[in-house]
Structure 1
Amino acid sequence: MDSTFTLLDLGWQAYFQQQLSLDDLESNRIARICAQKGSHYELVSEFGLFVLESDSDIPSMVVGDWVITDTDHNFLRLLESSSSFEDIASNIDTVFLMCALNQDFNLTLIKRYLELTHDAQADAVVILTKADTCEDATEKRAQVEKLDPLLIVETVNALDADSLRCLSPFLKKGKTIALLGAVGSGKSALINTLMQTTEDGKAQKNIGDSGTLKIMPSGAILLDTEDMRELQLAEFDGSAIANFADIIALEKQCKFSDCHHQGEPGCAIKAAVLNKRLDEQRAANFLLLHSENSNDDQVTKSKPQEKFYRSAQSDVRARKHSAAE
C-alpha cells in the first residue's frame, strides 16, 4: 500500500502552519492521526505511517488531529484544531448533512445536525436525496432553507455523478469532509459515487490501514469513523427526549411488548394517530429513532438507544412526580 503523502494530501492548511515554531520547521515532523486502536494511535506523515503509544504525558486525541513529533516519532505537542466533534473527530472542514426526501424526511433531525456541526465549528451543507420519491420536494427544501438564510442546501441524486457536481466546491484537494445522516438517507450511495474512479484512472486511497481517512479522486479527504456514524443517534437523544417522552409512555400501552409500531394489532401509537390524539409526523419522527440504529436481525437495543430509552423513561417519571405535586 502506498503510504507516502504530502501534507496537502493529508489536509494541511494555513491555520496549522501558523502554529509551527522554527524548530518544528527545521527539526521536527508533522503527522495526522488516522486511527485510534486501543491504547495506541496510528499516524501518517510525509515519511509514512507510524504508531504512537498512549501514555499519561500524551493528551487525549482523536482521528483528524495534527501532532508534532521529533524525528524518532516521540510526541511533542498537539496542534489546536480548526473544528472538533468532542472525543470523536477533529479538523473537519465541511459536514454533509444527509436527509432523504421521502417518508424519512425529518426537519427536527436536520436542525440537530446543524447544531452539532455549528458547535464543532465546521461548515454544514444539507444534501437532500431521493427527490424522485417525493411529490413536495420543493416545499421541503424551502423548509430546510428557512432554518438559516446562509445555509447551503443541495438536492441531488446520490447515484448520479453529474448530479453531484454541485458538491465540487467542497471537495477540493486537502479539504476534509464527513457525513451525518440517518439510515436510508443515501450516505453510502453518495460515498460510492464520489469514490468512483475518474476518467484519468485516479481512484481513492486509504490513509493508513483502518480506512477511516480516505483520499477521494477529487483530492478531498473523507473522514468516516464508527463514532461519527453513531453520532446522529447518540447526540440526537438529548433534544428528542422532551419531544418524545409522551410517545414512549404511550408505547408501554401497546398490546405486544416487542411492537414495532408498523401496523401490529393493538399498537397504541397507531391508535393514537388514527384518533387524532398524536400528530402523524411526530410519530414518524419517533419511529425513525427505532430504525436508525437497528436492523432486521438485531434483537437488543444499541447503547445509544438504551441511553435514549433510560433518559426518556426518567423524564416521564419526573413529569408524573411533578404533576402529582
Structure 2
Amino acid sequence: MDSTFTLLDLGWQPYFQQQLSLDDLESNRIARICSHQNSTYELIDESGLFNLPEQSDRPDMTVGDWVITDAEHVFLRRLERTSVFENTAANIDTVFIVCALDHEFNLGLIKRYLELVHEAQADAVVILTKADVCDDLQEKRAQVERLDPILIVETVNALDSDSTACLSPWLKKGKTIALLGTKGAGKSSLINTLMQNGDTQSAKIGTSNTLQPMPKGAILLDSQGLRDLQVAQYNGGKIESFADILSLAEACRFSDCQHQGEPGCAIAKAVTQGRLEEARVASFLLLRSAETDDGIKAKSKPQGKFYRSAQSDVRARKHSAAE
C-alpha cells in the first residue's frame, strides 16, 4: 500500500516551483509520472495514485515527468524538464555510471555512457566497483579521470555501506538518481547497499516500483526503458556492431577520412540523405576514439559534426536556478 508523499519526497525542486501559476498553487494538482504501461500513465501526487490515458494531443511524456492537472485529474500541462533520456526517463538529477574494476573494465563504454548522460543534460558520477579486489585501482581510476577534468569518480566496494558513504551528497531528499552499467558491474549490489534502511521497509511508489524512495531521501528511477538503453549501449560497444558504417567508410574519397566533414565522406553523405542516423555515427566515432587511444592511430574527435557535446552552460544555469 502506498504511503502519503510530499512533493519533496517525490523529487520536487525549485526549478519546477518557478513554473507554477497562481491557479496551480491554489486550485490545481501537481503529480509525477511513476509508470507508463499499456497506453496509460500512472501518476502520484500528495493525495495518492491516479491514471491518465495516453493521448496524441498531449506533449511527449515519460517516467519522471511532472504534470499539472485540475482538481478532477484532467491533464493541463507538463512542466519543463531538467533532463530527459528520450522516450525513457525525465528529470533525473544524477546518473551513477557503474563499472567494475575487473576484466570487464571498459573505458570506451564509460565514454558512451557519459555522452548519453550529457546529451540528456543530467549530471554524471562514475562509480568504480570491486575496489576491494583490484590491484591496479589507481591506474584505472586515473584513466577515467582523464576523460574529463571535472568528472567525479568514486571507487567503492558495492557490498560495504561504509565504502558507499561517499555517495551520500547525491542521495539527499529532492534528488532523483539513476544507474547505468552493464551486467556484472555491481549495480544490483550497489542498489541493495544504498537501500539498506535498518529494520524499516521503504514505502512504495506506484505499482511498477519504477520510482523507489531511498533511505537518505532521494528517489531512485529504475525503468525498463533505462535497462533496455543499457543493453543497447553495451551491444553497441564493439566496433564490429557498426558493420554498416565500416562498409560505408570504404567508399570515402580519402582512405584516412576521419568522418569529421572532409570532402567526399560517404558517411556524411549517408547522414545527409537520411540513410544513417547522426546518433549512430556519434556512437561509432566515440567507440573508435576509445580503441585508438593507445596512440597507434590518430585519435578521432567525435565532438565534431556528428557529436553533440554536453550543453554545460545550459546545465550550469539550470542547476544554479534549482539551488
Q: Distance in 2 between matches of 1:80 and 1:215?
A: 23
Q: How far is the alpha carbon of 1:319 from its aligned partner?
A: 4.2
The yes-or-no answer on 1:56 pairing with 2:64 is no
Q: Distance in 2 between matches of 1:235 and 1:92?
A: 19
Percent of aligned positions that are identical: 65
Letter of the aligned partner of 1:122 in structure 2? A
Q: How far is the alpha carbon of 1:47 from its aligned partner?
A: 0.8
Normalising by the residue count of structure 1, what TM-score does the alignment of the two structures yield?
A: 0.75
Letter of the aligned partner of 1:231 in structure 2? L
Letter of the aligned partner of 2:243 in structure 1? Q
Partner of residue 221, structure 1 = 219
The answer (yes or no) to whether the contact 2:2–2:206 under 8 Å persists in 1 is no
Q: How far is the alpha carbon of 1:177 from its aligned partner?
A: 0.3
For structure 2, the residue ranges without an aligned partner over 5 or more in a row are 256-265, 267-323
Letter of the aligned partner of 2:96 in structure 1? F
The yes-or-no answer on 1:317 pairing with 2:247 is yes
Letter of the aligned partner of 2:202 in structure 1? Q
Partner of residue 5, structure 1 = 5
Q: Distance in 2 between matches of 1:96 and 1:142?
A: 18
Q: How far is the alpha carbon of 1:68 from its aligned partner?
A: 0.1
Q: Distance in 1 between matches of 2:78 and 2:195?
A: 31
Q: How far is the alpha carbon of 1:219 from its aligned partner?
A: 1.1
Q: How far is the alpha carbon of 1:191 from its aligned partner?
A: 0.5
Letter of the aligned partner of 1:210 in structure 2? S
Q: Distance in 2 between matches of 1:3 and 1:73?
A: 19
The answer (yes or no) to whether the contact 1:30–1:68 under 8 Å persists in 2 is yes
Q: How far is the alpha carbon of 1:148 from its aligned partner?
A: 1.2
Partner of residue 315, structure 2 = none
Partner of residue 201, structure 2 = 203
The answer (yes or no) to whether the contact 1:3–1:49 under 8 Å persists in 2 is no
Q: How far is the alpha carbon of 1:124 from its aligned partner?
A: 0.7
Partner of residue 161, structure 1 = 161
Partner of residue 147, structure 1 = 147
Partner of residue 71, structure 1 = 71
Q: Distance in 2 between matches of 1:64 and 1:205?
A: 17
The answer (yes or no) to whether the contact 1:83–1:120 under 8 Å persists in 2 is yes
Q: How far is the alpha carbon of 1:118 from its aligned partner?
A: 1.1
Q: Deviations over 1:33-73 (max 9, x none)?
A: 00001111000000100000111222221000000000110
SS at match of 1:109: helix
1:112-123 matched pairs, under 5 angstroms: 112-123=112-123
Letter of the aligned partner of 2:55 in structure 1? D
1:89-108 matched pairs, under 5 angstroms: 89-108=89-108
Normalising by the residue count of structure 2, what TM-score does the alignment of the two structures yield?
A: 0.75
Q: How far is the alpha carbon of 1:29 from its aligned partner?
A: 0.3
1:175-324 matched pairs, under 5 angstroms: 175-198=175-198, 201-235=199-233, 240=237, 244-245=239-240, 309=241, 312-320=242-250
Q: Distance in 2 between matches of 1:316 and 1:56?
A: 39
Query: Which structure has the bigger radius of gyration?
Result: 1
Partner of residue 285, structure 1 = none
Q: Deviations over 1:175-223 (max 9, x none)?
A: 100000011000000001111123xx44322210100000011111000
The answer (yes or no) to whether the contact 1:68–1:75 under 8 Å persists in 2 is yes
Question: Comparing both structures, which one devotes a greater share of its residues to helix?
Answer: 1
SS at match of 1:206: coil
Partner of residue 280, structure 1 = none
1:26-37 matched pairs, under 5 angstroms: 26-37=26-37
Q: Distance in 2 between matches of 1:316 and 1:82?
A: 36
SS at match of 1:207: coil
The answer (yes or no) to whether the contact 1:99–1:106 under 8 Å persists in 2 is yes
Q: How far is the alpha carbon of 1:231 from its aligned partner?
A: 1.4
Query: Structure 1 segments of 4 or more deviating over 6 A?
Result: none
Letter of the aligned partner of 2:220 in structure 1? L
The answer (yes or no) to whether the contact 1:195–1:216 under 8 Å persists in 2 is yes
The answer (yes or no) to whether the contact 1:205–1:216 under 8 Å persists in 2 is no
Q: Distance in 2 between matches of 1:147 and 1:203?
A: 39
SS at match of 1:24: helix
Partner of residue 126, structure 1 = 126
Q: Distance in 2 between matches of 1:32 and 1:88?
A: 15
Coordinate RMSD, CA, aligned? 1.9
The answer (yes or no) to whether the contact 1:3–1:208 under 8 Å persists in 2 is no
- Which is worse superposed, 83-92 or 229-238? 229-238
